């Protein structure tokens, strides 16, 4: 396999709840333009394109077809990848494989979501609606909670069950979720590409209503409009096209289990907080990256956290710390931007969530941190040698992992 | 030096109505395939699914597809495009050196569950074309057919011959369901007129289908089968969405072919390719694809039809399986073309067998009037 | 360098006609379950290879990848694996009555399902508690034949 | 003989269609305003000189932002056509009582054809090379359909 590096990142100028001024393909063009501007490349330098989003969030099938001109993919090989929440990283991993395999040298990975054009709550219901209707046909009551069957649970979805199971097994308290939420929102306040950018205290979070215990309103992510483009290249093209300040992809992994919280039709056998795919995927990525002790060797992490408890949970599931340790790291400031394991210095998905981009922004942020090209004030002060990026999707079942580094390894 | 990858096995099913849930269709196909290969799901290093949210009617279509293909607690990803792209990605994953086996599984149920023409309409520019409602898969295909006929003098009778040949071939293929053993060009001419010049029998049938391919690295391929079919070249290309695209001299078909030929070191495709399986969803697309791929000279569609050059025993057999007119399930479509190439090269093609087939070409497409085209060259010659 | 969005442009509508799909779903396990519930019995399906018991039962085992069809009867008691207490709707408006929904693993089963638990103060409720089904008086072969669960006193 | 579950496939439909609201962006916004004044606006690419209607932001092949506006039409020439004997209604093919005439029309001054409906002629009169002119809605409704259809010129 060949060495592959992220050589540049392009975000839309903002991630906000509503881009009223542009249509979908115009918005995508902004992030592609930014990537070209940031790398000094032109479309002629691009050998192939990988692309993805969540189709039903915009009601648009195979949107790379309409976006062909706007993302400068005319006459290029292109592949569309979509895996739910993990889409962004799955798209970047496809670009990685395209280069690692020797097929192509420079590949552009494009992800986007314009969630204001649809209703994402409704779009998410589309994951399981036929299954739910089958249960309804057998007497399930969708609305009152009477009877047995429905896996969905409270209005924060099955995330509340996951949070409770996490708390139970880790020994963390609900207050730790508040604290993590406040930390990440405050990080987001420093990031010009974050959506919710307000310095936030634990008290602010605790003032929000409890929706489905243990999750509060202030524990949930926003829905955003935005697009992200990453350009990856082979060693040879890194030498040719860049000054060498790039972020190397040294480990990749992905794994699935089953739609654990939605398998009410055929029996749920997986604890939503168990997340064994995180272990499978991360162990593979660490092995590739030559990492034996992730907690000691990694310098930062970007976790996919649609809900505020998840960063803590993932740190444990991905082996960054032992089970039950993450909330202690939080308590001692280890997860702060200046801490030993800065986690979601960007503010995370919890602060910015244009879903297709959410799992691409994680490795993109790691790459920018490594390259010390962070715009805004969330640059981690210490030198970043190895960074962990994580994506999560499907119906609680997919995990993607990437390790990025300042050296090809 | 790129790592060698082979197709070591395949299975497919196509029907107007599978009578099964999507999950059950996938489970039965994959279970049967594993058993036939003498392997289990644990022998698969990475799963590349190929499906579509609108085709399946499910947001994140692979959520309920992982388990029935055997991917529980395994490495998995999903391509949302034609099956040839999924096979390409699986190949690339193996080429990276990180995997030795990859299972590609495509499926959709256009016969029983979803409405293919409606799913295609969701690909339109939602702010313009879909608002006007003039463009749909049939009207767009009809315009493309008319353009080819105007440009190169293909007659309706010749167009009907193309359709009839495919439908007759399909009747010989147990994996196609839309075959018509004795169909004549006159029968095609008598079918319902939709958008001129397109008639019902020029169009792909709505299909429930699934297809599975197992790809493997050189070493693993030789362990798994005595008859590996080597992937020699792949290529794909995207055209513009907008009508400035030349739909009869398809640049993306041409570029896809050129890329695949270059990788496979094929200088003279018309001579080197023994059989081609192309995804012509409408009869007139077959000459456009074949000509873009250099299998026949530009504009020769009429002559090819008259002289039977694309017949089973012709100079360049095209779609001995009956092609997309015999069965065409979204996402599985391109994989079925590859599976048919595998049957040909493995000598398993029964009544549709092309004599001495050693190198084959599979083509897949996405979008209105073939906006995105993908090609894979496969061969029994290891090289 | 502050980015300023351009003027607002209008919206046009589109739909994804989800109602046009004719879904085919496997109902084998859920019917087995509801048919049994007429007699206040809970039936799942066991994998004869690994012994996993699923309720409702699928037609194949996710782990062993084989067809499964061995019916097993389960007790109507189980253990709370996780839970949530619904306190407000999605917009944050408080609910009149708090609702405990729990993921419950029935005794003898390896899979979980969700049901509500009543008759317990939410602040006293814990993961790991033992619960028992409360049946309706006249079961009709419906998923609502079990009205809810209640905590088994220790 | 142990109890076996009876296989069941359930046909299910979902009771909803999903609706979306699409922002059209500044290019189509300006195009629609033009239609209200009976003007058809396109943009030209400074690199390849193509003139495209409706206007869009990017020429992908040339990597250029298209910001040079030109008025084209209202007359043009039929480049390609089809006569529809059916329509597709939510994915289902339905027979039409009277055929629909569709044409790819290269408007005077444009290089990229526009798909539009042609009315007031017989299907047999629709030919390549036919001169047609735009018919606008009067009064305009401030929408894409202000360019109502085309009819034979003269």
| B2 Cβ contact list (under 8 Å, min separation 6) | A101, A102, A103, B95
pLDDT at C91: 66
Determine whether the interchain pair A97/B88 forms a contact, defined as Cβ–Cβ distance below 8 Å. no
User: How many other CB atoms are found less than 10 A from the CB of residue C130?
Assistant: 15
User: How many other CB atoms are found less than 10 A from the CB of residue A381?
Assistant: 8
pLDDT digits (tens, 9 = 90+) for A279-321: 999 999 999 999 999 999 999 999 999 999 999 999 999 999 9
Does residue C55 fall inside a structural domain?
yes
Q: Which of A128, A255, A288 sits opposite B74 (nearest CB)?
A: A255
Chain D residues close to C32, C-beta within 8 Å: 5-6
Determine whether the interchain pair D88/B193 forms a contact, defined as Cβ–Cβ distance below 8 Å. no
Chain B residues close to A56, C-beta within 8 Å: 53-54, 59
Q: Which of A24, A123, A397 sits opposite B63 (nearest CB)?
A: A397
C39 touches chain D (CB under 8 A): no
Does residue C18 fall inside a structural domain?
no
pLDDT at C154: 82
Least confident of A211-220, B48-57, B281-290, B363-372: A211-220
Reported confidence tier of residue C1, pLDDT bands at 50, 70, 90: low
Chain C residues close to D20, C-beta within 8 Å: 13-16
Q: Which of C24, C60, C65 sits opposite B113 (nearest CB)?
A: C24
Reported confidence tier of residue A151, pLDDT bands at 50, 70, 90: low
CATH number at residue C115: 2.40.50.140
The Cα-based distances of A100 to A233, B94, B342 in angstroms read 9, 10, 27
C neighbours by CB contacts (3+ pairs under 8 Å): A, B, D
Domains plus CATH for chain B?
A: 5-115+206-224 (3.40.47.10)
Share of chain A above pLDDT 70, in %: 98
Count of domains observed in chain D: 1
Chain A residues close to C44, C-beta within 8 Å: 267
Torsions phi, psi for B284 (to 5 deg): -70, -15
Does residue C16 fall inside a structural domain?
no
Does residue A189 fall inside a structural domain?
no
Q: State the nearest Cα–Cα gap between C144 and chain A, in angstroms.
A: 4
Q: Which of D10, D56, D63 sits opposite A43 (nearest CB)?
A: D63
Count of domains observed in chain C: 1
Does residue C132 fall inside a structural domain?
yes
Question: In 3-state terms, chain D is what percent helix, strand and coil (to 5)?
Answer: 10, 50, 40
Does residue D62 fall inside a structural domain?
yes
Does residue A210 fall inside a structural domain?
no
Determine whether the interchain pair A103/B95 forms a contact, defined as Cβ–Cβ distance below 8 Å. yes
Average pLDDT of chain B to the nearest whole number: 97
B188 touches chain D (CB under 8 A): no
Does residue C17 fall inside a structural domain?
no
Q: Which residue of C has its CA nearest to B124?
A: C14
Determine whether the interchain pair B27/C60 forms a contact, defined as Cβ–Cβ distance below 8 Å. yes
Helix, strand or coil, per DSSP, at residue A231: strand
The Cα-based distances of B158 to A52, B295, B306 in angstroms read 41, 18, 7
Determine whether the interchain pair B126/D20 forms a contact, defined as Cβ–Cβ distance below 8 Å. yes
Average pLDDT of chain A to the nearest whole number: 94
Q: Which residues of D touch A (CB under 8 A)?
A: 10, 12-16, 18-28, 56-61, 63
Chain C residues close to D10, C-beta within 8 Å: 24-27
pLDDT at A120: 75
Does residue C11 fall inside a structural domain?
no
Q: State the nearest Cα–Cα gap between C10 and chain A, in angstroms.
A: 8
Does residue A125 fall inside a structural domain?
no
Residue range D36-65: average pLDDT? 97
C15 touches chain B (CB under 8 A): no
Does residue A348 fall inside a structural domain?
yes
Does residue C95 fall inside a structural domain?
yes
Helix, strand or coil, per DSSP, at residue A32: helix
Residue range C122-139: average pLDDT? 97
pLDDT(A153) > 90: no
A127 touches chain B (CB under 8 A): yes
Count of domains observed in chain A: 1
pLDDT digits (tens, 9 = 90+) for B181-199: 999 999 999 999 999 999 9
Give the pair of three-digit tokens for residue C134.
């409360």
Least confident of A254-268, B60-74, C75-89: A254-268
pLDDT at A345: 98
Chain A residues close to C10, C-beta within 8 Å: none
A neighbours by CB contacts (3+ pairs under 8 Å): B, C, D
Rounded distance between C-alpha atoms, residue A52 and residue A89, angstroms: 9
Is the entire prediction scored with pTM above 0.80?
Answer: yes
Share of chain D above pLDDT 70, in %: 99
Length of chain D: 154
Determine whether the interchain pair D128/B150 forms a contact, defined as Cβ–Cβ distance below 8 Å. yes
Write out the residue range of the structural domain in which residue A47 sits. Answer: 4-119+221-404
Does residue D18 fall inside a structural domain?
no
pLDDT digits (tens, 9 = 90+) for A27-65: 999 999 999 999 999 999 999 999 999 999 999 999 999
Rounded distance between C-alpha atoms, residue A60 and residue C65, angstroms: 35
C121 touches chain A (CB under 8 A): no
Reported confidence tier of residue D116, pLDDT bands at 50, 70, 90: very high
Write out the residue range of the structural domain in which residue C84 sits. Answer: 25-151
Does residue A152 fall inside a structural domain?
no
Chain D residues close to A117, C-beta within 8 Å: 20-23
Q: Which of B85, B126, B255 sits opposite A60 (nearest CB)?
A: B126
Q: Which of B119, B127, B143 sits opposite D80 (nearest CB)?
A: B143
D neighbours by CB contacts (3+ pairs under 8 Å): A, B, C
Does residue C46 fall inside a structural domain?
yes
CB A123 within 8 A of CB A61: no
Size of interface B-D (CB pairs under 8 A): 97
């Amino acid at each position: 396999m060949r060495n592959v590096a992220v050589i540049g990142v392009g975000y839309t100028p903002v991630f906000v709840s509503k881009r009223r001024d542009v249509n979908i393909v115009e918005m995508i063009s902004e992030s592609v333009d930014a990537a070209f501007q940031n790398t000094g490349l032109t479309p002629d330098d691009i050998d192939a394109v990988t692309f993805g989003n969540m189709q039903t969030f915009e009601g648009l099938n195979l949107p790379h077809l309409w976006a062909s001109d706007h993302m400068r993919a005319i006459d290029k090989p292109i592949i569309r990848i979509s895996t739910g929440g993990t889409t962004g990283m799955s798209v970047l991993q496809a670009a990685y494989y395209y280069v690692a395999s020797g097929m192509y040298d420079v590949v552009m990975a494009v992800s986007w979501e314009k969630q204001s054009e649809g209703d994402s709550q409704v779009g998410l219901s589309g994951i399981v609606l036929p299954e739910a209707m089958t249960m309804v046909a057998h007497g399930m009551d969708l609305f009152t909670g009477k009877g047995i069957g429905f896996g969905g649970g409270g209005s924060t979805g099955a995330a509340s069950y996951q949070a409770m199971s996490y708390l139970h097994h880790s020994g963390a308290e609900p207050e730790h979720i508040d604290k993590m939420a406040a930390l990440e929102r405050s990080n987001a306040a420093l990031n010009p590409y974050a959506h919710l950018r307000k310095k936030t205290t634990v008290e602010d979070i605790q003032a929000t209503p409890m929706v489905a215990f243990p999750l509060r309103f202030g524990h949930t992510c926003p829905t955003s409009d935005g697009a992200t483009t990453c350009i990856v290249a082979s060693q040879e093209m890194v030498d040719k096209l860049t000054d060498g300040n790039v972020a190397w992809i040294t480990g990749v992994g992905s794994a699935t289990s089953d739609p654990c919280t939605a398998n009410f039709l055929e029996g749920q056998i997986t604890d939503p907080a168990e997340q064994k795919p995180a272990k499978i995927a991360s162990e593979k990525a660490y092995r590739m990256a030559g990492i034996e002790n992730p907690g000691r060797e990694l310098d930062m992490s970007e976790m996919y956290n649609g809900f505020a408890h998840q960063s803590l949970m993932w740190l444990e599931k991905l082996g960054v710390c032992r089970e039950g340790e993450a909330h202690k790291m939080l308590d001692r400031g280890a997860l702060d931007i200046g801490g030993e394991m800065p986690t979601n210095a960007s503010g995370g998905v919890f602060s910015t969530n244009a879903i297709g981009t959410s799992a691409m922004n994680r490795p993109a942020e790691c790459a920018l941190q490594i390259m010390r090209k962070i715009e805004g004030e969330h640059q981690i002060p210490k030198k970043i040698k190895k960074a962990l990026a994580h994506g999560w999707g499907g119906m609680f079942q997919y995990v993607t992992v990437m390790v990025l580094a300042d050296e090809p390894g | 030096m790129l790592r060698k990858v082979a197709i070591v096995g395949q299975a497919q099913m196509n029907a107007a109505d599978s009578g099964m849930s999507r999950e059950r269709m996938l489970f039965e196909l994959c279970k049967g395939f594993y058993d036939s290969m003498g392997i289990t799901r644990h022998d698969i290093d990475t799963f590349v699914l190929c499906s579509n949210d609108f085709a399946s009617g499910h947001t994140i279509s692979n959520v309920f597809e992982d388990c029935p293909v055997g991917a529980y607690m395994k490495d998995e990803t999903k391509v949302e495009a034609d099956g040839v792209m999924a096979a390409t990605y699986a190949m690339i994953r193996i080429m990276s050196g990180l995997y030795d086996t990859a299972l590609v599984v495509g499926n959709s149920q256009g016969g029983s569950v979803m409405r293919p023409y409606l799913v295609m309409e969701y690909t339109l520019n939602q702010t313009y074309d879909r608002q006007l409602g003039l463009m749909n898969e049939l009207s767009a295909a009809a315009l493309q057919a008319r353009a080819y006929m105007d440009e190169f003098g293909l007659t309706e009778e010749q167009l009907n011959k193309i359709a009839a040949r495919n439908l007759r071939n399909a009747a010989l293929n147990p994996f196609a369901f839309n075959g018509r053993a004795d169909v004549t060009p006159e029968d095609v001419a008598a079918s319902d007129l939709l958008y001129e010049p397109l008639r019902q029998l020029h169009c792909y049938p709505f299909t429930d289908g699934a297809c599975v391919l197992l790809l493997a690295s050189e070493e693993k391929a030789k362990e798994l089968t005595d008859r590996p079919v080597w992937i020699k070249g792949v290529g794909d290309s995207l055209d513009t969405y907008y009508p400035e695209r030349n739909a009869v001299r398809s640049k993306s078909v041409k570029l896809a072919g050129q890329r695949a030929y270059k990788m496979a070191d094929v200088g003279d495709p018309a001579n080197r390719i023994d059989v081609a399986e192309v995804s012509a969803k409408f009869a007139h697309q077959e000459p456009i694809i074949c000509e873009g791929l250099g299998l026949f000279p530009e504009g020769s569609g009429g002559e090819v039809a008259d002289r039977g050059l694309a017949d089973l025993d012709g100079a360049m057999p095209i779609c001995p399986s009956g092609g997309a007119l015999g069965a065409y399930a979204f996402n599985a479509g391109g994989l079925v073309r590859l599976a048919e190439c595998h049957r040909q090269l493995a000598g398993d093609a029964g009544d549709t067998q092309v004599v001495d087939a050693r190198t084959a070409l599979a083509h897949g497409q996405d979008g209105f009037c073939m906006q995105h085209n993908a090609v894979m060259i496969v061969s029994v010659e290891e090289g | 360098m502050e980015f300023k969005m351009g003027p607002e442009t209008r919206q046009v509508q589109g739909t994804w006609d989800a109602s046009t799909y004719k879904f085919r779903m496997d109902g084998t396990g859920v019917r087995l379950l509801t048919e049994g519930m007429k007699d206040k019995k809970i039936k799942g399906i066991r994998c004869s290879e690994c012994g996993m018991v699923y309720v409702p039962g699928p037609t194949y085992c996710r782990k062993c990848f084989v067809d499964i069809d061995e019916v097993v009867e389960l007790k109507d008691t189980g253990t709370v694996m996780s839970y949530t207490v619904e306190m407000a709707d999605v917009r944050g408006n408080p609910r009149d009555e708090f609702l405990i929904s729990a993921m419950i693993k029935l005794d003898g089963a390896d899979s979980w399902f969700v049901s509500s638990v009543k008759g317990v103060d939410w602040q006293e409720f814990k993961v790991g508690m033992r619960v028992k089904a409360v049946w309706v008086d006249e079961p009709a072969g419906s998923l609502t034949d079990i009205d809810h669960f209640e905590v088994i006193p220790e | 003989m142990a109890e076996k579950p009876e296989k069941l496939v359930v046909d299910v439909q979902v009771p909803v269609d999903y609706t979306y609201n699409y922002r059209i962006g500044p290019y189509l916004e300006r195009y629609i305003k033009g239609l209200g004044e009976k003007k058809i606006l396109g943009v030209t690419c400074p690199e390849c000189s193509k003139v495209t209607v409706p206007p869009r932001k990017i020429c992908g092949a040339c990597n250029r932002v298209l910001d040079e506006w030109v008025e084209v039409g209202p007359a043009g020439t039929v480049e390609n056509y089809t006569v529809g004997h059916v329509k597709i209604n939510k994915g289902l093919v339905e027979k039409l009582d009277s055929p629909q005439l569709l044409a790819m029309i290269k408007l005077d001054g444009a290089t990229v054809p526009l798909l539009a409906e042609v009315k007031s002629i017989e299907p047999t009169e629709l030919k390549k090379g036919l001169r047609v002119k735009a018919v606008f809605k009067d009064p305009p409704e401030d929408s894409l359909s202000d360019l109502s259809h085309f009819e034979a010129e003269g």
